[in-house]
Structures are given as C-alpha cells and as structure tokens.
Amino acid sequence: MRLVLPLTKTARTRRGAAWLVSLLCLAALLQPATARADNPIVQTIYTADPAPLVHDGRVYLYTGHDEDGSTWFTMNEWRVWSSADMVNWTDHGAQLDIASFAWASKDAWAGHVVPRNGKFYWYVPVVNRATGRMAIGVAVSESPTGPFRDALGGPLVENGEIDPAVFVDDDGQAYLYWGNPNLWVVKLNSDMTSYQGSPARIPLTTQGFGARSGNPDRPTLYEEAPWVFKRNGQYYMVFAAECCSEFIAYSTAPSPTGPWTYRGTIMPRQGGSFTNHAGVVDFKGGSYFFYHNGALPGGGGFTRSVAVESFTYNSDGTFPTINMTGGGAPQVGTLDPYVRQEAETIAWASGVETEPSGEGGMNVGWIENGDWIKTKGVAFGAGARSFNARVASAAAGGSIEVRLDSPTGTLVGTCTVPGTGGWQNWTTVTCPVNGASGTRDLYFRYTGGSGYLLNVNWWRFSA
C-alpha cells in the first residue's frame, strides 16, 4: 500500500523509511508461504466494517475506507468488492461517498446494503451538517456495484447514533437496527426509505446481552455494530462487545424484536485493532464470518483491514469460537483464465493500487519494478498458448512476467508493454505462453525501469 490516490501519478509521494521497511519485511515473510496468505482480503487500501451480501452467485462486500496515516476514524467513502470464489476479489471502487449526500459533512462510517424490489439500498451513518449529529442516510442503486445515489435528500432517521444494519424477514417485513451506546430498531416500509411508527430502544439487559463489569454506564456487553439474520427459525444478533478492545459476541431470539438471550463469544479480542465489526453469510454451501483487524503494515485501530474465515455452526445452531488467521477462507471452485478477467481481481497484491479506468470500471496502476499480483486457483486445463492484456503507459512501459505458484516461480511468458502516450491510452498486447496447465496460482510480476511503469485494465489467456 501507498498513499491515497491523487489525480495524477506525478503527484504521488512515498512513505517514510519505516513504512518501506515494514512493507519489505511483510513481503519477505509472506513469499515462502504466499499460496496460503489470503487475509486480509484487500491489500491495496485500508478497509473496515465489512457488510457482505450474497447475490446472483457472487459475494458482494461493502466496506469503509480508512485513510492512510489516520489517527482517528478518518473515512470519506465506501467501497465495493465482489468474489465468486471467496479468494479472488474484484475491486469495484468507491460507489458512494460523503459528497453523495448534500446534507452530510463527514464520517463515512459503517454501513449495510440490502436488496429489495430489484434495487439495492445502502444504509450509512454520516454527520448531518445542519445538526452536527450522526444520522442514518440511505442510498439506492439498480446494481449491487453502483453507482449509488441519495434516496431521500436528507436523513432517514437521526438520534446521534451509528452502525445501521437491515434485516428482511421471511414475511417481507424489514427492520433497521443501529446504535451506540443504545440499540434501536424500527420497522421499515416496503419502499425501504421510510418507516412505521417511532424507533424503539431494545432493552439492554444482562440476560439479553451479557454482563459488563466496572462500567455502571454500560452494564451489558453490547457496544455497537449489530448484524441480524435468521437461521433455522432462530434470530441471531451478532455485535461488537465491550470496548476497548472489542470482541465479537452474539445473542439469539424467537423474533426479530426479541426477547434476546446472550449466547457468548464468537471471536475473542485479537488482531491489532481495538474495534471489530462482523458480517455473516452463507455462500455455495459454506458459512463465512467477515471482520476487520490491523494486520497490514501500518495497521491499527484507525487503519484497519477486512478479513474472512470459513466456519461450521455447532449441531445445536450455536457459533464455534472463530479466531483470526492469515490463511483466510478456502477457495470455492476455480478461476477461468479463458474469459476476460479484470486486472483488479486480486487474491494478494504487493505494491500496486487501483484507480477508475477511462474505459469503465477500475484498473490496476501505480506499478513499479518488482510489484506483483496473485490470482489464486486458476484452471488452465490442458494448457494456455497465449496471454492478452489491456495496458497503458505514459512512461516507457515495462514487462509483465507471467509466473506460476510464487512471484519468483516458473516463468511461462513475458509480455512487453510499450509507452502508449498516457496512463489511460489503452492498447492490447499479446505474448506466447508455455507451461501453464492444470490448476495453479497465477502471478503477474512487473519489471522495468524506475518510476511508474504501466497500468493494466484486464487480461485473458487463449487455449
């Protein structure tokens, strides 16, 4: 990772020596076991507050973005990612930001997306400029990857509290939950942008949310970040517990409004961030637990990173204890190299970042000599014969080394990228490939002179 993207590559600056040393140390540690290192699932920026959504055969992941070098929750936009296999994640960029809400002034904090009526609704907390208080806004899109737009022109609800989450029950009734230090619920109407009656405060009893000691103002473990879902007729509320540092706990209930019974810890305190924020989904026959930590270089409580673990519920429906790992979730299926793949579909990256592409979507950029990208579980089958990539360079270009199994693994092809006269002046390059067969981890290693070398928009192999 490097600093937040400016408008031009020439405006780019470097971190200090300590940052570079930590990044090099991470690379040295990871390289011998690169194939097993898939957490955190995004390495190009800091991400936080994961909200996963399963839709049409993919997992869509909505996150906040901690700005580099933050010493507070400095967050200006929300980002979208997606995956068909739980390990290769496509960056769809920032599809919502503070400027999307004309009435908001700051703090793009933890949000949640739900589908309804062929649309996608993104509920987010922001500071209302008129009152200076946190309010819950809602944005809408016709696509899970945006763009999203303000649905109301003002807050949906405002009481100074944060962390909205929406659950739609089997009967179609939607519920909005949010709150810190309290826990609130209100029934949403079917339009998803208005509600019935008045918000109700859920009683925070020790029976419902566990007992906290030493803080008479917060007698229960509930802190923030509710996540509600239904499984086998039982309602679950997962939440961040007892700051600071937080762990993840949960309660269950016979209805979406309670009464809640505290069930215990899911994820203990760990991971280098004093907050945590969970999301839980089932996908292609497995169960997945998303969270954030401070695992990337420079990471911590204000520079967090989203990660994921697979898990299996206990036979009685309770959660097992889930610990943070560097391995992440196993891959579900394989990746097809013979269809166009976005260059920003990444299992692990070193050195690169992403940016909006002039051809639509995103592209990989800020590439320097020695940077690389891993794509996991690529099914070459009987073998690939050639490699195509959509590239651009305002400099002298460079080379894309196509390697297997590690950044220094078997070299099966090299594509030369010329200067194209601009970072968004795109051309397609092709080179022969020999030895890419079976299912392998694929690495693109970039080489060339000094400075930024090239951008990549997409790639595809030919059999």
Which of 49, 163, 342, 344 does the annotation list as catalytic?
49
What average pLDDT does range 107-114 have in this prediction? 98
Check residue 5 and give its pLDDT.
Answer: 34
Which of 223, 342, 344, 355 does the annotation list as catalytic?
223
What average pLDDT does range 74-99 have in this prediction? 98
Peptide bond into 320 cis (omega under 30): no
Q: Quick check: 172 pLDDT over 80? A: yes
Check residue 36 and give its pLDDT.
Answer: 55
**223 counts as catalytic:** yes
- Measured CA to CA, the distance from residue 181 to residue 242 in angstroms comes to 11
Q: Quick check: 27 pLDDT over 50? A: no
Residue 381's pLDDT band, with cuts at 50, 70 and 90, is very high
Residue 30's pLDDT band, with cuts at 50, 70 and 90, is very low
Residue 97's pLDDT band, with cuts at 50, 70 and 90, is very high
Global pTM reads 0.93
Percent over 90 (pLDDT), the chain: 92
Q: What is the mean pLDDT of the chain?
A: 93
| DSSP state letter for 29 | H
Q: Which of 32-36, 80-84, 160-164, 403-407 has the lowest mean pLDDT?
A: 32-36
Residue 6, burial from CB neighbour count under 10 angstroms (0-12, 13-18, 19+) = exposed
Q: Calculate the alpha carbon distances from 232 to 15, 84, 254, 316, 320 in Å.
A: 50, 25, 11, 10, 17
**342 counts as catalytic:** no
What average pLDDT does range 154-163 have in this prediction? 98
Strands of the 174-178 sheet, one edge to the other: 165-168, 174-178, 184-188, 200-201
Residue bearing tokens 């929300």: 78
- 260-287 in b/e form (b: 16+ CB < 10 A) is bebbebbbeeebbbebbbbbbbebeeeb
Check residue 37 and give its pLDDT.
Answer: 75
Quick: pLDDT tens for 317-352: 999 999 999 999 999 999 999 999 999 999 999 999
Quick: pLDDT tens for 36-46: 579 999 999 99
- The DSSP result for 350-370, as a single string, is ES-EEEE-TTSSEEEE---TT
Q: Quick check: 127 pLDDT over 80? A: yes
Q: Quick check: 17 pLDDT over 90? A: no
Residue bearing tokens 């609800």: 157
Q: Quick check: 32 pLDDT over 50? A: no
